[in-house]
Amino acid sequence: MNQRIVIIVAVVVIAAAAVVVLSSLSIIPISIPGIPQLMGGRSLPSNGYVYVIGAYPNVPTIISDIVRGSPISGLKSNEGIGSLSSGAVNVILSMIRGNDSFVITHGNPNAPVWLIEFLDPVCPYCSIFDVYNFSQIMPFISSGKVYYIAIYFPTHALGYYQSYLQANATNPAAAAVLLAAFNDSVALWLQWKCIGAAKPGDVINAINYTYINNFIYLVNYVESNNQAYLVYYPIASYSLINKTYPGCQIKLTPQQALNITGSALNNVNEVIPLLIPKQLQNNVGTPMFIIMKNPMKVG
């Protein structure tokens, strides 16, 4: 039995025990009382897209509806349908075609549907979404029906740096661990990029390995209420990817990591106003999804 299957089996066993706890903490939005749903549904126009802000479990269903040309229904708050502007299309295409440092692609660029995920390798909600939902999306990617595009949005990585700054004056030992967590958080993205360039077929596995490892630490945190698990899982996942893909070992200084996160945020800030309604732009975070018909085939 290979390593990936062993890890997945372990996660499934843990998940069965942890899902109720995680749901009670609103980490997994299985159902959210009081959030209205937009019923009735309509098919996505050729220049349309669906935006999803959050780790909502209906993302695979939305993808399936768009692939099949079925009406889209059941959208919640922080989800909606928009129309692609020429400016948005140009920015997206330039990022992909230019081999942007903050973009990873996987699959068939001629697929009828594109899935863009804004993510952070150490985002807990991204990890939970991946463990619970990505296996439902992967068949669409593998069959050439969906082109997957990941955009680096280091929301949680910067949280470790901010915590480091707060701890540095009073607790140098804790600060050192937080700084390592920050550096390794950013290095994880560069590891994914390296794997995608060296072994394109392995990049999704690397992302899955990272998020499964994160998820195990998150379950341990929920069960023990020991916050050390939240600090150490970026370090542990970084070490795991280093061992699994020794050809893509990355080391960063704090300044290099800061420069990368700053540039990545500038990259996201260019895209968000073109895709997310103004009244929701303060709600953006990770994960966030844009599901659209192939913009190269629009018109």
Distance CA 192, CA 198 (A): 10
Ranked by mean pLDDT, which of 66-75, 90-99, 107-116 comes out on top? 107-116
Q: Average pLDDT in the 121-149 region?
A: 97
- Find the CATH number of the domain harbouring 36: 3.40.30.10
| Domain of 157, in residue numbers | 3-297
Q: Is the pLDDT of residue 69 over 70?
A: yes
Classify the phi-psi angles of 71: left when phi > 0, otherwise alpha if psi is within -120 to 50, otherwise beta.
Answer: beta
pTM listed for this prediction: 0.86
What pLDDT, on a 0 to 100 scale, did the predictor assign at position 218?
Answer: 96
What b/e string do you get for 257-296 counting C-beta neighbours within 10 Å, with b at 16 or more? bbebbeebbebbeebbebbbeeeeeeebbbbbbbbbbbbe
Cis? peptide before 287, omega within 30° of 0: yes
Q: Tell me the mean pLDDT in the region 159-169.
A: 95
H or E segment and range at residue 167 = helix 155-168
Is residue 10 over pLDDT 80? no
Query: The dihedral of CA 216, 222, 224, 226: what is its sign?
Result: positive
**Six-digit token string for 191:** 């590891």
Q: Are 137 and 146 in contact (CB under 8 A)?
A: yes
In DSSP terms, 271 is beta-bridged to none
Looking at the chain, the whole-number percentage of residues with pLDDT higher than 90 is 78
- Quote the mean pLDDT of the chain: 87
Interior/surface letters 231-255, b for 16+ CB within 10 angstroms, e for the rest:
bbbbbbbbebbbebbeebebebeee
Q: Which residues, other chains included, contact 290 with Cβ-Cβ below 8 Å and sequence gap of 6+?
A: 49, 50, 51, 52, 114, 115, 116, 118, 275
Look at the block and give the residue holding tokens 């070490």: 239
pLDDT beyond 50 at 284: yes
Task: Write the CA distances from 38 to 35, 73, 79, integer angstroms.
Answer: 10, 6, 10
- pLDDT at position 187 is 98
pLDDT in tens, 235-247: 999 999 999 999 9
What residues pair up with 82 in beta bridges, in sequence order? 49
| Virtual torsion, Cα 211, 217, 221, 226, nearest 10 deg | -140
Query: Does residue 7 carry a pLDDT above 70?
Result: no
In 201-253, which residue ranges form alpha helices assigned H by DSSP? Answer: 203-224, 228-244
Q: What is the pLDDT of residues 220-269, one digit of tens each?
A: 999 999 999 999 999 999 999 999 999 999 999 999 999 999 999 999 99
Tokens of 33: 């009382």
List beta partners, residue 79.
52
Find the range with the poorest average confidence among 31-45, 73-87, 184-198: 31-45
- The answer to whether residues 270 and 98 touch, using CB atoms and an 8 Å cutoff, is no
pLDDT band at 34 (very low <50, low <70, confident <90, very high): very low
The total of structural domains in the chain comes to 1
- What pLDDT, on a 0 to 100 scale, did the predictor assign at position 161? 96
